[in-house]
Structures are given as structure tokens and as C-alpha cells.
Amino acid sequence: MNARSRRAHRLLRWLPSVGLALWPALASAHLVTTGLGPFYDGISHFFLSLDDVLPVLAMAALGGLQGAAGGRRVLFALPLAWAAGSLAGWMAGGPAFTQFVPALSAIVLGLLVAADRRLAPAVLLGLSVALGLLHGWMNGAVIAATNRGALALAGIACSTFVAVALAAAAVVALRAPWMRVAARVAGSWIAAVGLLLLGWSLRG
């Protein structure tokens, strides 16, 4: 089998999966709890909150673009900061500035991914900690306001760890130049969504 037919074979292999993935059931993501306890509520809260997921993915991609060491830095710094921030938010409540945080996080991190510049390790670490503390704080305040157990915070922090691990590893593994460009394009899309989100936030 030559390289060309192997490539065609590989593409064919994914066709059924792509076809089925394009035919999903309607996801009605609107209830308060999963019924599986606060830990799983935390997991579902994170993965269904796009305003948290997008900046986390951008941060993970930014770490991955810096190489394996950068990815590892984000992998441990972000969830730990998230856990600390959420605990603080859970105990102290929500500050007033949170309205614009998701949009600004998406804009800044998305643009950094799109730019694909080499960052100093301290800058990468600082961004991870800032993102974790701010978003974690908001999560903690929301969880406290809805009277859910603190275990939900652990679910959220674990989710961020898993999301960062998967996304950063995927980006670190990119070898072909066009795949790296694809990651940068994804960053620009995240920044664009953040800009529109900022508009929606200002509009009220």
C-alpha cells in the first residue's frame, strides 16, 4: 500500500465517525444538578460553561505552543490556582468586576495563541495563575450562591486539569507546520468570540 492510498484509507476510516458526530441528539443543558452529587455537578458545570472552557483551552494551547515544559507549567499551575481561587470565592462571595472577566480572558489568551510568540516561563506561569484565580473565584462564588457542596469545587478543578492535559498535549504533539497554524487560527477564533462576548456584556 503506497503513502497516498494509506492516507485515503485513514480518511475513510474517520468518515463514519464524522458522519455520526454530525447527527447528534439535542442537548438540553438547562437543569441545576446532574443528580449524581456535587462532584459531578462541578464537572458538568465546567464543561457546560463555555465562558470558562474557552479561556482554559486557550491557556492550554498557549502552554502547548511553548513546548512540553510550557504545557506542564500550565497543567499544574492553572488547576491549583483555580482550586485556590474557587475556595476563596466560595468563602468570600463574588466581586463586582466578574462580568467582563470571561471576555477579557478569551481576548488576551486567544490573541497570544494567534501571535504564537515565545513567552518567558514566568509570564506563562503568571497568566495561568491569574486565569485560575479569577475564574476560580467566580466559580466558587456561583457554587456558594446556589448552595451546592464544596465538593463541586473539586469537580471543577479536576475538570480543568483534564481539559488542560488533553488540550496542551494535543498542541505539544503538533509537528506539521500547518497544524501549528491551525492552533493559531483556533486562538484567533477564541479572541473573536471574546470580543463579541465583551460587546454583549457591555450591552447588558
Partner 1 sequence: MKRDPEPQAAVRASLAALLVAATLPALAHVQQGQAAGFATGLLHPVSGLDHVVAMVAVGLWGAQLGTPAIWLLPVTFPLVMAFGGFLGLVGVPLPGVEVGIALSALLLGLAVAFEWRPPLWSAAVLVGFFAIFHGHAHGTELPPGQSGLYYSLGFVVATGCLHAIGIATGLVHRWPSGRLALRATGGLVAAAGLYFLVGAVA
Residues forming the site for partner 1 (CB under 8 A): 9-10, 12-14, 16-21, 23-34, 41, 44-45, 48-51, 54, 114, 146, 181, 184-185, 188-189, 191-193, 195-200, 202-203
Smallest distance from partner 1 to CB 115, Å: 10
Nearer to partner 1, 15 or 122 (CB): 15
* Shortest Å distance, C-beta 72 to partner 1: 28
The alpha carbons of the chain give a radius of gyration, in whole angstroms, of 18
DSSP string, 20-49: HHTSPPP-----S--SS-HHHHHHHHHHT-
Residue 2 vs 28, nearer CB to partner 1? 28
**By C-beta, is 1 or 122 nearer to partner 1?**
1
CA-CA distance, 144 to 91, in Å (whole number)? 8
The distance of closest approach from Cβ of residue 46 to partner 1 in the complex, given in angstroms and rounded to an integer, is 10
- In 10 A of CB 203, how many CB atoms? 6
Place of cell 494567534: 114
125 to each of 43, 73, 100, how far by Cα in Å?
24, 7, 22
Which residue lies nearer to partner 1 by CB, 52 or 81? 52
